[in-house]
Structure 1
């Protein structure tokens, strides 16, 4: 698949040292179990609302929308931060393609039904483009089965600290190094709740010095409608 190298980053990989409160230590059995099911929780939910913050040397981008984890389809609105509005508009993406609908005055939220025309399609780039890397990673933050809780700590998964996200107490954890996989030079941390719910993910991508941050919102997920005339490709 064209995005295999990027998607691999979304699988658990080891993270480098950081400033999270608490400091690194081994996972407890309960923490390993919660880390093992956190991507499965997303799959069980079918989809979730997200805010994807993408860094950039010329200014960042923020994608606000939803992801259908079972259908591998994302949809939302893009706004630039610290840059002009030339990149603003609606966006829908699959594992293979990105569709953009430029808008001079993009709304805060994407309309429930995508406009029937005005879309431009391009292949999703497998490397070198921070936005595309972020979109591909976001699609892959789900799994149709739990990970092996016993193997996670054996292969380097670690606990880094505690935090709070939108009123939820969470543990900040990293997963094991994925040897032999392309794209695992980056780093990833998960903000995981007491029931295994994923509330935030922070990932380093090779093309940027600042990490991508993916926040999951409390809003109820509404099924995504594909752009008219476009069949999603999982």
Structure 2
């Protein structure tokens, strides 16, 4: 998942957010939206070894696109993947590339609805899409909802604060209110400017969390696959 340790933030430093910290947490998803999109690596948990999606998310159009590979398992799931809040398209490949081609293939896609529950992959894809917002969150309400500073870390050379905050877990996957349980709350790794570098969130179908890393790779604008309509 890149450099830096991941203590999970379970430290004695857990405390209520300061005004500055709450403001940074409030704008972090908005900054993703303002940027247009971000390069991401999504590590999806699974008892069979998990999956890794490497690609980009366009937060204005509401589309993600990348390469999916098995981690510690066979390559039966390998290929290209594109998704929206409602639909997942997969393009199986026996020898998947390291990065997705800028222009999605014109054919060979299999389309299905995005599952609202029971699929760690689909829950992870939905969470990744939810990490952008066209407006900041309410900084005054975050501490009231249990947002807290739970530690400090370094991610690929960036000094970050680890905070619990707005719960972006798919609604049907949610088992508790935001911030009500430190083990289930979504955690954000955020720098001094509010830039998001990592997010960790629980999914109901797995015991381990999904981890979404915002990479230093250059963001490649997402082009919609045939039949996909951007949200924006």
CA distance in 2, matches of 1:229, 1:24: 47
Q: Residue in 2 aligned with 1:83?
A: 73
Unaligned runs of 5+ in 2: 1-7, 176-183
CA distance in 2, matches of 1:68, 1:177: 20
Deviations 1:109-137 (A, max 9, x none): 11111111111000000000000000011
CA shift, 1:161, in A, is 0.6
Q: Residue in 2 aligned with 1:24?
A: 14
CA shift, 1:221, in A, is 1.6
CA shift, 1:46, in A, is 0.8
Q: Residue in 1 aligned with 2:43?
A: 53
Q: Residue in 2 aligned with 1:216?
A: 214
Q: Residue in 2 aligned with 1:194?
A: 192
Task: Name which structure has the greater RCO, CA cutoff 8 Å, separation 6+.
Answer: 1
CA distance in 2, matches of 1:174, 1:23: 13
CA distance in 2, matches of 1:21, 1:150: 24
CA distance in 2, matches of 1:39, 1:63: 20
CA shift, 1:58, in A, is 1.2
CA shift, 1:198, in A, is 0.5
Q: Given the superposition, is the C-alpha separation of residues 177 and 53 from structure 1 closer, same or farther in structure 2, using an over 3 Å criterion? A: closer
The reply to whether residue 141 of structure 1 matches residue 131 of structure 2 is yes
The 5-angstrom pairing of residues 1-234 of structure 1 reads: 20-175=10-165, 182-185=172-175, 186-233=184-231
Q: Residue in 1 aligned with 2:3?
A: none
The answer to whether the 8 Å contact 1:96/1:233 transfers is: no
The answer to whether the 8 Å contact 1:155/1:177 transfers is: no
CA shift, 1:194, in A, is 0.5
CA shift, 1:21, in A, is 4.2
- RMSD, matched Cα: 1.8
Q: Given the superposition, is the C-alpha separation of residues 114 and 143 from structure 1 closer, same or farther in structure 2, using an over 3 Å criterion? A: same
CA distance in 1, matches of 2:98, 2:167: 37
Q: SS of the residue aligned with 1:40?
A: helix
Q: SS of the residue aligned with 2:38?
A: strand
Q: Which runs of 4+ in 1 moved over 2 A?
A: 18-23, 181-184, 228-234
Unaligned runs of 5+ in 1: 1-17
Q: Residue in 2 aligned with 1:14?
A: none
- Given the two structures, how large is their TM-score scaled by the length of structure 2? 0.88
- Given the two structures, how large is their TM-score scaled by the length of structure 1? 0.87
CA distance in 1, matches of 2:99, 2:220: 13
